[in-house]
Amino acid sequence: MDKTLGNITQENQNYLSDQNTNSTTSSLFPDLEEAGEIVSSVEKNESSQSASSSSNQSSSQAQQSDSSKQSETSKKDTGSSTGEKPLFMLPVTGDVIKEYSNNELVKSETLGDWRTHDGVDIKGKEGTQVKAAANGTVSEVTEDAMWGMMVVIDHGGNMQSIYCNLNKAVNVKKGDKVELGTIIGSIGNTALAEVALQPHLHFAMKENGKYVDPLKCMDKVS
């Protein structure tokens, strides 16, 4: 009897001390959560009391028509709030023969010097179709002295995709709306900065005006 009592009290003590350590480490958290719940429930009550049933109906109708305007692709996978980045896919399929250098200097085979490589080079024969990486609007079609025929697409959410070394005969012009997969042109041999490489697309992406690794923006691989 004494033994079992002793065990029980010891267990209780362990239990209590466990609780103590738990409560000291996490005591702040539940309090904050509770506070948040209280605030949000108050807001809900206020809005449901003040809003009449007719205005509720009209606001939900407006939401429906808004969402139906959105393109299918942007709705497909996310289904959540607006303003997030759209679905991205690589513009051509092929091996990456030169990776994004992430601001590191890498040797340029063509120019013989060391410089950053602000995109990826995806191998592909001249004439290979190049597709828009996501829904968006063509914001630039230019012939750059270094990068050759170049298309820039604005995707919203401060995301841009940039396609260089295209054939001069591009399929889009500034202002055109494109969808993921729209053929914008084909691989050419126009980028003097990279002519020493085998035929490829130089593909770059910018987020908030800064180059980012295009492969990390893609949704096909994690």
Q: Which residue is nearest to Zn ion (CB)?
A: 202
Closest approach, Cβ 154 to Zn ion, in A, equals 21
Given the complex with Zn ion, which of 144 and 179 has the nearer CB atom? 144
Residues 195 and 165: their CA atoms lie apart, in Å, by: 9
Given the complex with Zn ion, which of 202 and 206 has the nearer CB atom? 202
Structure tokens at 25: 């480490």
Phi and psi at 153, nearest 5°, equal -120, 130
Among 121, 138, 155, 215, binds Zn ion (CB under 5 A): 121
Yes or no: say if 116 and 101 are a contact pair by the CB < 8 Å rule. yes
Structure tokens at 178: 């494109």
Given the complex with Zn ion, which of 44 and 107 has the nearer CB atom? 107
Interaction residues for Zn ion, span 169-208 (CB under 5 A):
202
25-33, 119-127, 153-161, 206-214 -> range binding Zn ion (CB under 5 A): 119-127
Given the complex with Zn ion, which of 108 and 137 has the nearer CB atom? 108
Phi and psi at 175, nearest 5°, equal 95, -15
Closest approach, Cβ 202 to Zn ion, in A, equals 4
Closest approach, Cβ 108 to Zn ion, in A, equals 9
Given the complex with Zn ion, which of 131 and 202 has the nearer CB atom? 202
Say if residue 29 is exposed, middle or buried (CB neighbours under 10 Å; 0-12, 13-18, 19+): exposed
**Interaction of residue 118 with Zn ion, rule CB under 5 A:** no
Residues 52 and 32: their CA atoms lie apart, in Å, by: 32
Closest approach, Cβ 109 to Zn ion, in A, equals 10
Yes or no: say if 208 and 160 are a contact pair by the CB < 8 Å rule. no
Residues 64 and 28: their CA atoms lie apart, in Å, by: 40
Binding site for Zn ion (CB under 5 A): 121, 202
